[in-house]
Chains A and B, each alone.
Chain A
Amino acid sequence: AQSVTQLGSHVSVSEGALVLLRCNYSSSVPPYLFWYVQYPNQGLQLLLKYTTGATLVKGINGFEAEFKKSETSFHLTKPSAHMSDAAEYFCAVSSTGGNAGNMLTFGGGTRLMVKP
């Protein structure tokens, strides 16, 4: 079975500071990894995903994440936080096989707060 752990249910940073949201996964097969963002009163939208190839993945709004197999991690970073980045962020790992190939297992989420 696959699982995802997000360290820190709440993270607070100052505007302009580095954003680091942590995600560790467990998977018995090579994983596909995703970061989604949920703004208040909205559904989830994809920030970025790792499938194969380059381990540093760039996404929307200046976010990027690095797949580190040896550490089973997929941490999300952004060099400089903006007030508009305040949201909840979810890390997810994709199951393989089955009838709906792209099934996702989500972490518990990290709420990012940005202070002026």
Chain B
Amino acid sequence: DVKVTQSSRYLVKRTGEKVFLECVQDMDHENMFWYRQDPGLGLRLIYFSYDVKMKEKGDIPEGYSVSREKKERFSLILESASTNQTSMYLCAGSGAKVAGLDTQYFGPGTRLTVL
């Protein structure tokens, strides 16, 4: 079974704190993704990585950064957390370079609350 794990299921932070969300996949996949999920908005792509140390912005990268130093690990960083970053964060991985040929596999999510 493929597996994507996220470091925390629930996280509570204060405004201005630096926050790290960690994601690990055991599928040897090149591609990894970070989404945020908000009611009525579905999932929106924050950043993705297609190889170690390679990253590209998604649709809503403002206020976030990412790090991928090893193939299996993809970190999402909130440099200075704000209340509007309270959300569910989902990590995913996939192996294909050609659209439609592979599935994105998701982790269980981290529900982040910023007070």
Which residues of A pack against B, CB within 8 Å?
4, 6, 9, 32, 34, 36, 41-46, 49, 51-52, 90, 94-109
Q: Are A100 and B100 in contact (CB under 8 A)?
A: no
Question: With A99-B54, A100-B50, A103-B45 as given contacts, are A43 and B40 in contact (CB-CB < 8 Å)?
Answer: no
Instruction: Report the count of interface residues on B (CB-CB < 8 A).
Output: 34
Would you list the 3 A-B pairs with minimal beta carbon distance, nearest first? Answer: A32-B100, A43-B106, A106-B42
- Tell me the minimal C-beta distance from B49 to chain A in angstroms: 8
Which residues from B are CB-within-8-Å of A99?
50-51, 54, 56, 97
Q: Are A103 and B48 in contact (CB under 8 A)?
A: yes
Interface secondary structure of A, over-half rule? loop
Which residues from A are CB-within-8-Å of B102?
102
Which residues of B pack against A, CB within 8 Å?
4, 9, 30-31, 33, 35, 40-45, 48-51, 54, 56, 90, 92, 94, 96-104, 106-109
A51, B100: Cα distance in complex, Å: 6
User: Of A9, A41, A44, A97, which contacts B99 at CB under 8 A?
Assistant: A97
A41, B101: Cα distance in complex, Å: 28
Q: Are A94 and B100 in contact (CB under 8 A)?
A: yes
A56, B43: Cα distance in complex, Å: 25
Q: Are B42 and A102 in contact (CB under 8 A)?
A: no
